[in-house]
Amino acid sequence: MMKKNIFSSLTAGRRRNKIINNPSAIREKETNICGNLKFTAAEAYKLLRTNLMFTLPAEKGCRVIGITSALPGEGKSITSINLAYVVAESGKKVLLIDADMRLPNIARQLDLKQNPGLSNILAGLCEPADATVASGVIDNLKVIAAGDIPPNPSELLGSDQMSNLLKKLSKDYDFIIIDLPPVNIVSDALTILNVVDGIIAVVRQDYGSRIALNKCMRQLSINKEKFLGFVMVDARESSKEYGKYSKYGYGTK
């Protein structure tokens, strides 16, 4: 009952949507990360951090949180980086993992080398210590890049090796933030639902369709207890409605 009360207060919104946070000032540009965050954006991420700490209390030990989205380009990687940064700012030891092994972005955003990384660890080609590097933005934030692009990322994420890796890494960190692929495009993010403490979906306003958002919700409802809610980015302060999206076209030429 207590968990339900915390969760409902966390997700309350104007339309009672499952919104963990509505950082209206967060405009997800590549330069708007970590120490370059504007004041209002930084405060929005800090509010998200506070909500997470109430939802997943310290008694749980290391908290493992997955960040995903319905579609590519919604801002999940930037959200992962900035959330990891503000959590580290609070004095917690944080590990940021790029698990989007099909289209990695974390190393590029932080100007880090890609290899070795998560795929190399899971394939048994290196040890976690060999792939864990300093973030370069704050001392207590470490990063594991995606590594070499593997032929079977979904199988690797759903493997016993991934589960064992997170258990091992959890001994050394207070938070592990995992950047995951979009759930509407590939099934990778769904394969590790059982080994994370919670998962958040990033939604960019006026980007995707309601159909895409509903599909994302259906996908994540496979394990309702793990789905913490949505974070809306690029939201205009004058916006009256969270649920309004323009048509989004995704296809192949």
**Domains parsed from the chain with CATH numbers:** 2-233 (3.40.50.300)
CA distance 204 to 170: 30
Please list the pLDDT of the chain residue by residue as tens digits (253 residues).
334 333 322 232 323 234 444 444 344 444 577 777 777 778 888 999 999 888 887 887 899 999 999 888 888 999 999 999 999 999 999 999 999 999 999 999 999 987 899 999 999 999 999 999 999 999 999 999 999 999 999 999 999 999 999 999 999 999 999 999 998 888 888 888 889 999 999 988 777 778 888 888 887 877 777 888 888 887 665 444 434 433 333 333 3
Among 214, 201, 200, 204, residue whose Cα is nearest residue 239: 204
Among 116, 185, 126, residue whose Cα is nearest residue 147: 116
With contact defined as beta carbons under 8 Å apart, do 20 and 230 qualify? yes
Contacts of 159 (CB under 8 A, 6+ apart): 122
CA distance 108 to 228: 27
